Structure 1
């Protein structure tokens, strides 16, 4: 479980992910709005989630926390790349395929957040 001081910033991160997921699921896809929301998600992660000092965590949770943080960071980077591919998609089939990949990455991020106790 997260320390109390961090639970608020964690919920902000999950809310930003949910907002991003809603935009991806919308019928009227706005790539520029997706890019903007993704930048917000990254900013929240870097400013709040990634900034938790290891000594603030329970020693029993430290390993899980660090590995989950690594996976979140990696998935965010891959999601950024996937958004670039989505933006460059010209054919409807390719666009749908890229959207599916973006949805999967968002599901992974939400799953990682739940794994470390973020609601």
Structure 2
């Protein structure tokens, strides 16, 4: 089981993801604000979540945690690219496609958080 502080950090990260998910569902979408939210999310991940691997002492959990954190990091990088492409999209259909991809990525990252929070 993850220590209490790690669980708190993961829950804070998960809440930030949920907030971003609501932001992408808003009818008043602001791409610049989305970019700022994604950058804040990435910083939160780097500052509070990535160090979990280095601090995790249980050998049985470490490989699983490592692979999940790697996938989350990858999805966050792709999410940042989606925001960039959303900002430069000229056609409405392209913007909607990017927005859909962003929503899917956020949902994927949220699914990756679940086993970390429920790890026993």
Q: Indicate the TM-score class for this superposition, using the shorter chain for normalisation.
A: over 0.9
Give ranges in structure 1 of 5+ residues lacking alignment: none
Q: Give the aligned length.
A: 118
Give ranges in structure 2 of 5+ residues lacking alignment: none
TM-score of the two chains, using structure 1 as the length reference: 0.92
Q: Which residue of 1 aligns with 2:74?
A: 74
RMSD: 1.3
Q: Which residue of 2 aligns with 1:62?
A: 62
Deviation of 1:117 after TM superposition, in Å, equals: 1.8
Q: Distance in 1 between matches of 2:98 and 2:34?
A: 13
Q: Which residue of 1 aligns with 2:98?
A: 98
User: Quick one: structure 1 residues 88 and 65, their matched pair in 2 at CA, closer, same or farther if it must change by over 3 Å?
Assistant: same
2:32 is the counterpart of 1:32: yes
Q: Which residue of 1 aligns with 2:2?
A: 2
SS in 1 for 2:51: coil
- Report runs of 4+ in structure 1 exceeding 6 Å deviation: none
